[in-house]
Structure 1
Amino acid sequence: MTQRFDIGGHWQKLMPHITVYGPDDEAARPAVLLFHGSGGIRSHLHDYAKAAATAGWRAFVVDSYGHRGWKRWFSFIFISTLILFHGHERTVDVRAALWGVKQRADVDPNRIVLAGWSHGSWTIMDLMTLEPETSDLLHGVTGLFLVYPYIGPKSRTPKHGWRWWPKTMLIVSGQDHITARDFTHSVFADLKAQGLPLEIRNFDATHAYDEPGFAIDWPPNQPMRHHRQATKDTIAAFVDFLKGI
């Protein structure tokens, strides 16, 4: 069942924890909402948002932890380990952010993209599985940009499929230790067969390769390593995707 909540009240709590980028004007521009991974807001999300703004979009970096008072250590202990805050529970943030952004006169409500990284992608994907009562809210969501999405035992997508099929770009990490590349391709092959307009970009990199905090070369066997070129190429793919919406 879709979670029932005070969407306007939730937006008011969430709003102070959203960073907004975009051209300095009042034009109704397309908007992209960015949702972080389980580790919380990291600097690379702002790089994507700035690239979107340069391309003429309004970008909203949404912090799901700020209004809940959760710190980074809390996320590592409880969220990255799947103890708390699963994707379907976090959909309240996506729904509230969508609702709030659509109230803005400087946003085109018919051209909105949802972008997620890992847990953020999981959340967006779970939203796509929810009941038809979300249809009015999802009207105008014309694209999804999903970066190394978590698709595991708690994810709704493999069992439930999607009810909505926006144009989607999927970013897959070939060395992902959290969700295997082949499984990710299999799940999205099923979605494509259902009618999802899908483009896939594959990178020979680890999970979270675009986060700057990980060492690049040493030790070579660590599960997450920053990859500079793949990061640049993913940001370029992000901008190309937005331009095609």
Structure 2
Amino acid sequence: MDTLLQRWDRLSPHATFIGPEDDLPRPTALLFHGCGGIRAHLPRYAEAAKAKGWRAAIVDSYAPRGWSREFAMATVCTGLMFRGDRRAGDVLASIAGVSARADVDASTLLVGGWSHGGWGIMEAMSADRRPGALGVADPGSVDLGGVRGAYLAYPYVGLVAVNRMRPWRHCPRILAVVARRDHLTTVRNAERVHEMVRRCGAEVETWMAEGTHSFDEPMSAPPMRYDENLTAEALDRFGRLLEDLAPVRPLRGPA
């Protein structure tokens, strides 16, 4: 079983870092893809973070494991393997690994997850983190104090997410995106989950997006449908959340 350090050693070669061209310690957003793997929308969110003076790390959970998109669609997206509690190990390892970088302000982090990635974040925030939990040997060894925000884009909170009503242990500020026509959950179920999180003392803002699951991912996979206008609004809301957590820091000028 991996330690968090060993897990990050596996993940880091496949993580993409985007941000200002300097070595200043900057607030950083960690972005976790949905069950279909890295898709074209995540770099847009990373660029939105860069525009606010943040760094972003897009963490690929599949490449280190040698999984193709087709394999993931047949196994992860169907709930057969690598459920949210297993993905949470990647979330914690990424927090630990990214926090150790000299160009990262470890006191100001945001975790962002889309669908399955949001599920993994929710498991990481609510788990008891005893040794061996979440598929890693030492899940309790990472300090979550620097995680000041979470962006949850239509997180998976369906029947397979059996821990969706488990109270959170770490409660950052949250922007939760609920898709009105999400075929994987009812709006009421999503609202119940977010209300439970709110009871732990977190500031939870919900945005009801009038679209489908994965509305911000360019694709053609009914019942999911891409919506550029909603995507633009999602990017704007994401950027404003980052700005609220840590105002833009000026880029380093010429020497």
TMscore range, shorter length:
over 0.9
Q: Deviations over 1:23-63 (max 9, x none)?
A: 00011100000000000000100000011011100100000
Q: How many residues align?
A: 236
Q: CA deviation at 1:194?
A: 3.1
5 Å-filtered alignment, 1:36-185, equals 36-131=33-128, 134=140, 136-185=142-191
**Distance in 1 of aligned mates of 2:19 and 2:81:** 33
Q: Which residue of 1 aligns with 2:32?
A: 35
Q: Which residue of 2 aligns with 1:218?
A: none
Preserved contact between residue 126 and residue 156 of structure 1 (Cα < 8 Å):
no
Query: What secondary structure is seen at the aligned counterpart in 2 of 1:231?
Result: helix
For residue 192 of structure 1, the aligned residue among 194, 198, 214 is 198
Which letter maps to 1:201?
A: W
Which letter maps to 2:150?
A: L
Query: What secondary structure is seen at the aligned counterpart in 1 of 2:212?
Result: coil
**Distance in 1 of aligned mates of 2:143 and 2:162:** 20
After superposing the two structures, state which structure 1 stretch, 148-157 or 170-179, moved more.
148-157
Q: CA deviation at 1:156?
A: 4.5
The reply on whether 1:19 has 2:25 as its aligned counterpart is: no
5 Å-filtered alignment, 1:211-230, equals 211-214=217-220, 222-230=222-230
Q: CA deviation at 1:73?
A: 0.5
Query: TM-score normalized by structure 1?
Result: 0.92
> Percent sequence identity over matched residues?
39
Query: What secondary structure is seen at the aligned counterpart in 2 of 1:32?
Result: strand
Unpaired runs of 5+ in structure 2?
131-139, 246-255
Which letter maps to 2:213?
A: H
**Distance in 1 of aligned mates of 2:163 and 2:42:** 24
Which letter maps to 1:123?
A: G
Q: CA deviation at 1:190?
A: 2.2
Q: CA deviation at 1:159?
A: 3.8
The CA RMSD over aligned residues, in Å, is 1.5
Q: Which residue of 1 aligns with 2:213?
A: 207
After superposing the two structures, state which structure 1 stretch, 181-190 or 227-236, moved more.
181-190
Q: Deviations over 1:79-134 (max 9, x none)?
A: 11000100001111111111111111110010000000000000000111112663
Preserved contact between residue 165 and residue 193 of structure 2 (Cα < 8 Å):
no
Which letter maps to 1:69?
A: G
The reply on whether 1:231 has 2:231 as its aligned counterpart is: yes
Preserved contact between residue 75 and residue 81 of structure 2 (Cα < 8 Å):
yes
Task: Go from structure 1 to structure 2 and tell me whether the alpha carbon gap of 1:159 and 1:188 turns closer, same or farther (over 3 Å shift).
Answer: closer
Q: Deviations over 1:135-171 (max 9, x none)?
A: 7421200000000010022324434221111000000
**Distance in 1 of aligned mates of 2:39 and 2:100:** 27
Query: What secondary structure is seen at the aligned counterpart in 1 of 2:206?
Result: strand
**Distance in 2 of aligned mates of 1:137 and 1:29:** 18
Preserved contact between residue 37 and residue 119 of structure 1 (Cα < 8 Å):
yes
**Distance in 1 of aligned mates of 2:174 and 2:64:** 29
Q: Which residue of 1 aligns with 2:251?
A: none
**Distance in 1 of aligned mates of 2:56 and 2:217:** 19
Query: TM-score normalized by structure 2?
Result: 0.89
**Distance in 2 of aligned mates of 1:156 and 1:99:** 26
Query: What secondary structure is seen at the aligned counterpart in 2 of 1:168?
Result: strand
